[in-house]
Structures are given as C-alpha cells and as structure tokens.
Amino acid sequence: MGTGKRGLLATAVAVVCAVIVLGAPGTAFASPSPTPTPTPGSTAGAEAPPLPSTATADKNLEAVRTELEALYHDAAVATDAYNAAEEAARQQSAEIVALAKKIVAGQEKLADLKNRAGAAARAQYRTGGLPDEARLMLSDDPSQFLDGAGRVRQGQRATKGLIDELSRTQQDLEQYSKDASAQWSKLEAGRKTKAAAQKKIEKQISEAEKLESRLEKKEKARLEELERQAAQKAQTAWLDTGVLHEIGSAASAQGKEAVRFATAQVGKPYVWGAEGPDSFDCSGLTSEAWKSAGRAMPRTSQEQWKQLPHVPVEDMRPGDLIIYFSDASHVAMYVGDGTIVHAPRPGRTVTLAGAGSMPILGVVRPDA
C-alpha cells in the first residue's frame, strides 16, 4: 500500500475515533482525556478535539444540583400541604365520630321524652280528658284541694320542663346534623387538597429522579460531593458570624429525650408523609421525637413555625427546632455544637448536618 493510501487510512481511523468519543454518553461531565498523538501521515484537522475540562463538568453538575434543589424544595412544600390535609382529615373524622355519638344519644333521649309525653297524654285521657286544674276545682274536699294544688303546680312545672327539654333536644339534633354535614364537606375538600398535593409530590420527585438517572456513577458521586461542599460553605459562613459562641443553653429533660429519639433514627430513609418507625419526612421526625418526650406538637414544619414559641438563634438549646427557608418548608432538630439531625429529602437518610448548612428562618421551642 502506498504512502498516500496509508495516510488516508490513518486519517479515516482518526475521524472515526473522534466521532465515537463525541457520541459517547456522559461526555459532558467526563474528565478531560489526553490529546491523541497524530498518526504519521495524518492531517492536523483529523485530531479529536479535547473534552470539556473538570471545571466545565462541575459547572454543569452545579446546574443539575441547583435544579434538583428546586425540585425537592417544591416537593417539600407539597409534602407540608399533604401532611396538613392528613392532619385535618384525622381531626375532622374524629369530630364526625363524636357528633355521630351525640346524634345517637340525642335520638335516644328524644324517644324517651316522647314516650313520657305520650304517657302523660294517655293518663289525661283515662281521667276523662279533664286537666288537673279542672278536676281540682270540682273537688268538695278542702284538704284534697290544698294537696292537689301543690301537685298541680308540680305537674305544670314537669310538663313545661318536658316540653322545653323536647324542644332543646330537637334543636341539638338539628345542630349536630348541620355540624356533621359541615365536617363532611371539609373532609371532602381536604381529600381533594391531599390528592392534589400527592400528585405534585410524585411529579416533582419523579422529575428529580429522572434527572439523576441520566448521570453516570462517577457524576453522581461528584454531585454528592458538590452538595457536601455547598453545605459546608454555608455552615462555615454561619459559624464565622460567631453565633456558636453565644449558644450555651443546656437542654431540658424533655429536650434531651427528644434528641435521643431523633438521633436514634439516623440512617433511616426519608419518605414523604412518613412518621416512623421505619422512615420519616422532616416534620415527621421532629414531631415524633417530641411526642416520645411527652410533648404533642403540630405535624408540619409550617405549623410548627406558626404555633410554637420562637426563640433567638443565639439562645437555642438542644431539642429546639430550626425552621429553614422563607416558606418554612423544612425543619430540623438542634442537637448541640452547631449540629442538627434531620430527614433531608427523597433519596437521602436521616443524618447529622451543620445547623447553618441551609438558610435559617428561625428557631422554635416545643417545651418553652
């Protein structure tokens, strides 16, 4: 084969290799490869161009991380809406059960009152249909008249009381029925809210999982490393404010118990809507931890922020809850030394992290 033909063959081989490399999946985030040595006789234009640098790959992964954060944040907001609807449904169902019991008891009472009224009517019929007052006036015996007058007054009061009680019982039953109907309407509206929230949660998580599934194993590992670096950077900035030097309050007895419970869950998976014992979402972890310490509290992070007493960040103590993001969509428990325990997001497990690794909205104290 002549020199010219060998040169053309070498050029063709180089071009094919370049096409294969450029068409390979994941090259957008791959490490740069060394420039191939030109084959003797090949032209400079046949060389494969260099792959993106590590900095470019990290920039692309950083964009992925930002998008994932947005998707999981939206899922967290929807999870709070789902949990709120679930909690409201439990309360409304309990109220409906209580009203149903009142209605049954009221119906039994009404039936008894009607029986008593009927007995009084039958007794009057047996005496010729004359009321007690008329029969008393027809009596010729003075002593019987005086004794009878007292009984008449008692009978009048009893009759009036019976009629009043019948009326009240009927009014109560009507109100119980209206209240039960209103609770059913709320329950139905809550079911729709819950279903809409669930649909949004599943959609956001599905999109996030699809985005992550496109990454290769090395890229996923690098993405987790970028997440850790971002959290560490935020934690360092928070610590640099000197706030940790001002935090020195000891945990209360209940706070210590809550911390023990929460830290014992480390390693268990995050599952939205979960309250244990095998998995948790962020507010499920904090509410169950404080429940174990004997303190009932709101189920969602947003309600925990609204209803629990606020304390300054510099005054927080172990067991206090740190609420994150401007919409109070995430909550963690402070365990001391600038550290929190929390259930981060789908795909992660309950873990320890820096208290300043996310934007702090404020701190609440369940046992204030």
For 8: left if phi > 0, alpha if psi spans -120 to 50, otherwise beta; the answer is alpha
Helices (H), the chain: 3-23, 54-126, 132-137, 142-213, 217-239, 243-246, 253-264, 282-292, 301-307
Q: Is 330 a catalytic residue?
A: yes
CA distance 339 to 361: 16
C-alpha Rg value of the chain to the nearest Å: 38
302 and 80 Cβ atoms separated by less than 8 Å: yes
- Give the other-Cβ count within 10 Å of 24's Cβ: 10
Q: Is 342 a catalytic residue?
A: yes
- Residue owning tokens 């039958």: 122
CA distance 257 to 259: 5
Which tokens is 334 given? 């402070």
22 and 14 Cβ atoms separated by less than 8 Å: no
- Give the other-Cβ count within 10 Å of 32's Cβ: 13
Q: Is 282 a catalytic residue?
A: yes
Could you write out the three-class secondary structure of 99-147? Answer: HHHHHHHHHHHHHHHHHHHHHHHHHHHHCCCCCHHHHHHCCCCHHHHHH
Task: Please list the active-site residues.
Answer: 282, 330, 342
